[in-house]
Structure 1
Amino acid sequence: MFPLLAVMLLLAIWMTTFYLINSELARARYNAATVSQEISATYEAQMLRAVHEIDQTLKLVKYTYEAEGKRNPLPRLKERALLPPALLFDVSVVNADAKLVASTRANETGPVSDPDELRILRNNDTLLISHPWKDPSTDEWRLRFSRRLDAPDGSFSGVARVEVDAAYFASSYDTSKLGERGVLGLLGTDGVFRVRRTGESIQAGDAVDYGALVPDSEDTEAQLLTNGWDGVRRYTSARQLYDLPLAVIVGLSEEEQLAAVTELAHTYQWRAAGGSLLLVVLVVLLSRTSWQLAQSRLRTAEAQTQLVAVARQAGMAEIATNVLHNVGNVLNSVNVSAEVLTQKLRTSKALGLSKAMQLMNQHATDLGHFLVEDEKGKLLPGYLNQVTEALAVEQKSMSDELEQLAKSIDHIKEVVAAQQSYSGVSSLCESVQVEQLLEDALRMNAGIITARRVTVLKEYSAMPAVQLDKHRVLMIMVNLIKNASGAMVNMSDRQPLITLHAELTPEHKLIIRVVDNGEGIAEENLTRIFAHGFTTRKEGHGFGLHSCVLAAMEMGGVLKAHSHGPGQGATFTLELPITALSPATVA
């Protein structure tokens, strides 16, 4: 039994452990994908705003150049504070021959001539974004945004440019969200990264498969991909920037995002392993103990099985506790009687009688002469009289012990029989003799009533059978009588007394009162006495009265408490509606 139970518990432990681990992993993966999407959406909005601001600057330069006829529009725009900060952005104008006309940077060091730029813008009026290049003076990656400038006749006249440090577009990298191995990048539709940042490292210019990285749909769900540029598995979100040849790339490292869950999984596994080892040790110890106690359990197995079965079926912990307590007390008496009988048999005078008979058998041929003439023979009749008297006393004593033993065993049978009559757990009403139910409740509390020397006054007589949920009513009465008995401790000024009163009213109600003259209840406790967990006793658990009042409510009745104060005793009144009465029930 124990090995099978251990296997089942081990399976439960490890199934629960793996379930928790898988649940945490699924939650962490979902959170990582969600965070990647959220950061991607934020980054998309930032890049759209940044690129549009740059494009707006280019459009202002173009307007001033073309509409106002300013060959060098930069001073005019600077006077109006319409140029971006020179610390970050370099605005310049190049003529159709690729000659630098004006620049906001004092010493222009970047490349002026870009054949592809001039070729594309000569025939197309669109925002052109260059490939990144490294500034040799600063070793920084830079990007150029360009727009065509037209002459008054509409012909190609030059190019307006805005150059910016490529790191500007990855400056929103937040280590607390992206980790040390995340990625934040701006990818051109040509598959070339304009900028890509991981931790403090900034790279640009490397090419990837744009189609494999950016979905050809509006689906922005994060994908778990192994990024080809560094081989790191990331929850990657990609978004195409509206009306721009760019896409934003956001990635969260799977290893970093699942690190906490992985550590937690290790903790779960260690705990499960420790619990499994402890369980195996306990099973071994229990198996050994079970084997050692097998013989002693055989003597009481039937009684224990009955009691445990009754307790489990009834589901009434208080009743089962009282039954076990009472049977335990009686079993102590049985053990004492058995020990006394064993001791008397060991020291019985019958052993002396055996020796006397041996003497008589040795002198069987001259028994008369032996009894009259021999010194030992003369003493034998007197000795036999003494043995006879001793055996008579022993017989009387052993008879008394056997009678007491029989009474104890009968008492056990009565307690068990009383419990068995209520062993079927049911919430249905049935025909109940109220006086018999009260007698059973008293019998189940016989131990504490006798120990406290409580006198029980019964104010009820034979009543017709009524329809009740007898299991719940019995549970309530056992609790109330036990509590009343427990309330009478160290009463030297008066005899402990419990009064049981039961009556049927014309309103089809059963009223049962349990009145004691014990320690009473303080006024401030009367409103809390039925609360779960409330108790004024060290050994109490605060569950009995709470379960009683719930049971009464479930039967449509009420349970009330009343006391005039400490030392004035207490009265508990149970009122229950009677669902069906025989015609003679109410006089």
Structure 2
Amino acid sequence: MQSLPGLEIRCMGPRSARFALSLAPAVILALGIVLLGALELLQSYNEAARRGEEGARNLVHVLAEQTERTFQAVDFTLLGIRDAQTTIADMPDNDARFRGALKERLNALPYVRALYVIGPDGFITHDTDYPSTPQVSLADRPYFKAHQEDPTLGLHIGQPLRSRSVDAWFVSFSRRINHPDGSFGGIVVAALEPRYFEQFYRGLSVGENGFIALLLREGTLLARSPASEAAIGRSFAAAEPFYTYLLRSPQGVFWAPSPVDRTTRVTAYRALGTAPAVVIVGLAQQAVFQPWREHAAVVFITAVILLGLIVALIFLVQKSRRREQIEQARLSRVQRLEGLGRIAGGIAHDLGNTIRIVQSTFLLLKPSLAGRAEVLSLVNETDQALKGARAMIERLLAFARRQELRPEVTGIDERIAGFVPILRQAAGPRVSLDLNLASGGTAALLDPVQLEATLLNLVLNARDAMPDSGTVTVATEITSPPPGSVGIRRPSGADEQWVQITVTDTGIGMPPAVLERAFDPFFTTKGQGSGLGLSQVLGFVQQSAGDVQLDSEEGRGTTVRLMFPAAAREDRANDNLGPEAAVGLGELRS
């Protein structure tokens, strides 16, 4: 006979060291992924910072070269105008030919707004804006005073000033004019517009919140893009790079918040070699690290996916190992109970034969003892004791799956509903009995009398587990085949459904040690009784090709699940067959 499914008792202990070791590679792999991801992010972060610094350094280098060429072109123009002014003696003010030459030079310098010559008295003598230039003295201008006071001063780049003629910012580039005797003869001036630099810088790609600035060496801002009208002419001598870095090196890169808008940037600076000016390029930290953030998002998502797969793998391994442990425990218990069943069955069979012989002997003796009342009474008492022993033997045979069953197609819900009055009486007045019959009229091939005896046995056990009061719930439902049921031989066309009967109480429950031995024959914690109740339940269910699951937790009650294969179509069609045919179907199931 093929072995039948066993029982499941959920009293597993802590995980073994072997299981922990089996998880070690997955944990090491997960840690490796996290470590590699962190190293990759750190390396790519440093690489993004390096690229940002390199980009700022390259751009400031190009702009510094371009700015130096611009300043040199302006200076060459000023030198030419100065030489022409000193060459032509007694040139009248606002000479038309000379003004025409100035305008030609101005057309070659798109970044210069005006060219003009200031006499030693501070008044303009030649001007590309003539005659719209107001006749006012410029002797108070700082660039005029600088040349007037220092004969050795070469090219002078002044601080941004507001033009008195057009009310716009300009930066003065000026050279001194000397008389033949070396005395002060005035200055020649080129007025550069900061807007030119702002527009030129605006066309360069410095990213969002990036900036380009041109400042004097002493920290005064000449031009900036994006334009900042309030910042032009403002001194930033107390900010970097003027405060520290420029004193150490004429060029460099540093990270710091901007003193204008407080945005953190990587800033590259370069001082011009031919003029007292500095070009600064700032790339916003957010823009510099935007590619890194996108890369980090990809790395993070990839790491999360891999870690999720590892967690899923660990979960599946853990689930498989737990299932393996449960199956091993199930197999061990089934083998143990099978051994006990064979022993109990053999003993019960032999004792049953002996008891039948004794009972037959008593039956033959009774007529000859009719006149001896005391002896007859003793024989009757002994015969009653033998009947009790016979009942115990029948329970042992049930545990050993050797009891005689009369299986028939039985509607589970209908059978239980008809047996409810007896179950309520067995539960007693202090225990309430709740029903939840939801198997939808599903039938199973089993012995209905033994089913009722099994339910009665479970309700009595539940009542004993609730000495004060409580609730016993009897429920039915359709379920899938339990683990270990795939080996059961079933008739062709059988439904792949099982019907489950659940008996739950709210009693004291069982500790793991008791739960482990709950189905052992003669094991009891009540101090009375034979200890064969659950053993008989187990034997009946397994002999009916079913399965038993027992869950219990100390202080939280006990749940017993009886599961039977739903009756196949052939079983239902043969519902009216004789007992011999029914027994034959029962043997096929076993």
TM-score (norm 2): 0.47
Larger radius of gyration: 2
Tell which has more relative contact order, 1 or 2 (C-alpha 8 A, sep 6+): 2
TM-score (norm 1): 0.47
